[in-house]
Structure formats: C-alpha cells, structure tokens
Structure 1
C-alpha cells in the first residue's frame, strides 16, 4: 500500500481524475483520497514509480509519504 501527497488535488473532480489515472494502469486498484490533507492511499499491484508516473501524466505530480508521515 502506498500513500501519496498530491498537493494539486483540491476538489472532488481532482480526486476522480487521480482515481482514473491510477485505475488506467491498474483497474483493480483501491484508491482512497483525503482532500483536506491532499493525500491518496493506493493499494495496487503496480510499483511506486509507475503510480507516480501515472499521476504526473494526469497533471497531479505527487510524492510518496514515508511511513512516519503515513
């Protein structure tokens, strides 16, 4: 499971776009977003680099949160 900080995710439409970007590379991914904290939790069979790339290509550059920040 990964937790990403997505600073540009600020509304429900943004969250839907983030979810769609992740599900494009992993249709079975579980995605949970917190708009207030700009954090997305992802359970996916894809690796961190591929998920980060998908988010960036969708216009939502993100950073992986460390376990201490999770």
Structure 2
C-alpha cells in the first residue's frame, strides 16, 4: 500500500487524471483519492517510483510518499 501527498488536485478531472496515471503503470491497482486532504492511497505491487513519476508526468507534483 502506498500513500502519496499530491498537490494540485481539486476536481473530478484531477481524480480521473491521477487514477489513469496510476492505471497506466498498474491496470489492477486500487486507487482511492481524498481531495480535501490531497491524499492518494494506492494498493499496487508496482514500483512506487514508477507510480510517482506517472502522477507527476500527469501534472500533479508528489510532495510526500509513504509505503506501508
């Protein structure tokens, strides 16, 4: 399980873009986004650095990454 603190998410378009970025790396990933907290929780076996890069390439800076 990964948790990312992601800057710049404010609407459903943002949710879709971040979710798609994660799914581009791991189509089976489970993604949960809490806009008010700018938090993205991801259940995936993919490399966290690949996921982080994909989210940032989609235009959303990752401020913090937690692996649990």
Q: Give the structure-1-normalised TM-score.
A: 0.87
Larger RCO, structures 1/2 (Cα 8 Å, 6+ apart): 2
Moved runs in structure 1, 4+ residues, more than 2 A? none
Over the aligned positions, Cα root-mean-square deviation in angstroms equals 1.4
Q: Which runs of 5+ in 1 are unaligned?
A: none
Q: How many residues align?
A: 67
Instruction: Tell me which protein shows more strand as a share of its residues.
Output: 2
Instruction: Tell me which protein shows more helix as a share of its residues.
Output: 2
- SS at 1:36's partner residue? helix
Q: Give the structure-2-normalised TM-score.
A: 0.90
